[in-house]
Amino acid sequence: MKTIFVILFVSTLLNAQKPELFYFMAMEGDKAGYQNAKGEWVIKPEYSFAGNFSEGMAVVSKDGKYGFINKKNQVVIQLQFEAADEFSEGLARVMKNFKWGYIDKSGKFIIEPQFQLCYEFNGGYAQAQKKGKWGIIDKTGKFVVEPQFQDVTDFGDGLFGFQKSYADKAGFMNIKGEAVISGDYNRVYAFNEGLAAVRTGDLWGFINTKGEMVIEQKFTGAHNFSGGLASVKNEEGMWGFINPKGEVVIPFKYYRQAIFRDGYAFVETSSGYEYINMQGETVLSLK
C-alpha cells in the first residue's frame, strides 16, 4: 500500500543538521505512524492520529482516545483523553469530560479541567478561555489577567498581543494586563525573537518591542519569526521568507505559510511537499 506523508513535522532525534535522523509522521491507509527520512518505519502505523514529539513524548490516538507514547512506542500516559496536545514546559493540555486542563509527564492533572479552551505554556503563562473570553493563567491555573478579551496571543518577549473585541484595535500588554503598545492594528501575532507581525488594513509588517515599525507593512500575509526567518506572502499570494531586516532571503514560491523548527521548514510547492533548510535548499521531498 502506498505511504502518504502528511505535513506534520515531528522533531529530530539527535541533531538538526542531520536530516537523515529526523522522525516524520506518515500514514499508510488511514493509520498513522513514524518514519525516518529514508522512508523506514520506526514506529509502525497503528494510530488514527499521531502528533509532534516534544519533550520526549508524542500525542497519539486510537478509538477516539488520546494519550502519549515515547520514541520506543511505549505508552507512557494512557489513552484516556478526548483531545490532547504536545508537552511544553513540562505540561500538556488535555480535554477530559469536554473541559481542558493540564497534566504533567506522569499523567497527573496539575490544573484540573475547567476551561472551554486553552493553549500551551510559553514563558510560564498560557491563554485560557472561560465564558467565551480569553485571559492569562500561570502554572497553578490562576488567572493573572482575567478573561475579558476576544483574542490573546502567546507570551513572547514579555508581552501578550490582545484584542478586546474584533471591532477594537489590537495591541500588546504586559503580564499585569496593562496596555504598553497600541497602534492602528487590525490584528497582531505574538512577539518572537524581538519582532511581532502586525496588520493594518490588508497589509502586514513587523514592529519591535518599542512599538516601532521596523519592517514595512507591505505583505498580504505574515507569520512569526523563528530561527531568524519569518514567512511572508506577496501580492501574488505566494509565500517566501525574510530576515529581521526585511530582506527576502528565500524566494516567494510556496503555497502556504511555514515556520522553521530546529532549522527546517515544511513547505508546499507546485510539485508537492518538501522540507527545506534555512538556505532554501530542499532537504527531503515528499511526493
Domain regions of the chain by residue span? 1-87, 89-149, 152-279+283-287
- Banded pLDDT at 287 (limits 50, 70, 90): low
Three cell numbers written together for 233: 506572502
Q: For residue 10, is pLDDT > 80?
A: no
- Cβ atoms of 202 and 220 within 8 Å: the answer is yes
Taking the C-alpha atoms of residue 136 and residue 154, their distance in angstroms, rounded to an integer, is 9
Q: For residue 250, is pLDDT > 60?
A: yes
Q: Checking phi first, is residue 14 left (phi over 0); if not, alpha (psi -120 to 50) or beta?
A: alpha
Taking the C-alpha atoms of residue 34 and residue 37, their distance in angstroms, rounded to an integer, is 10
CATH number corresponding to 152-279+283-287 = 2.130.10.10
- Banded pLDDT at 264 (limits 50, 70, 90): confident
For the segment 199-240, what is each residue's pLDDT rounded down to a tens digit? 999 999 999 999 999 999 999 999 999 999 999 999 999 999
pLDDT for 224 equals 94
- Cβ atoms of 19 and 9 within 8 Å: the answer is no
Percent of the chain exceeding pLDDT 90 equals 77
H runs (alpha helix) in 150-270: none
Please choose, from the candidates 41, 33, 37, the residue with its C-alpha nearest in 3D space to the C-alpha of residue 16.
37
Record the pTM: 0.85
Q: What is the DSSP letter of 234?
A: -
Give the residue carrying C-alpha cell 502528533.
51
Taking the C-alpha atoms of residue 217 and residue 231, their distance in angstroms, rounded to an integer, is 14
Question: Which residues lie closer than 8 Å to 108 by C-beta, 6 or more apart?
Answer: none
Note the maximum CA span of the chain.
Answer: 56
Q: What is the DSSP letter of 19?
A: G
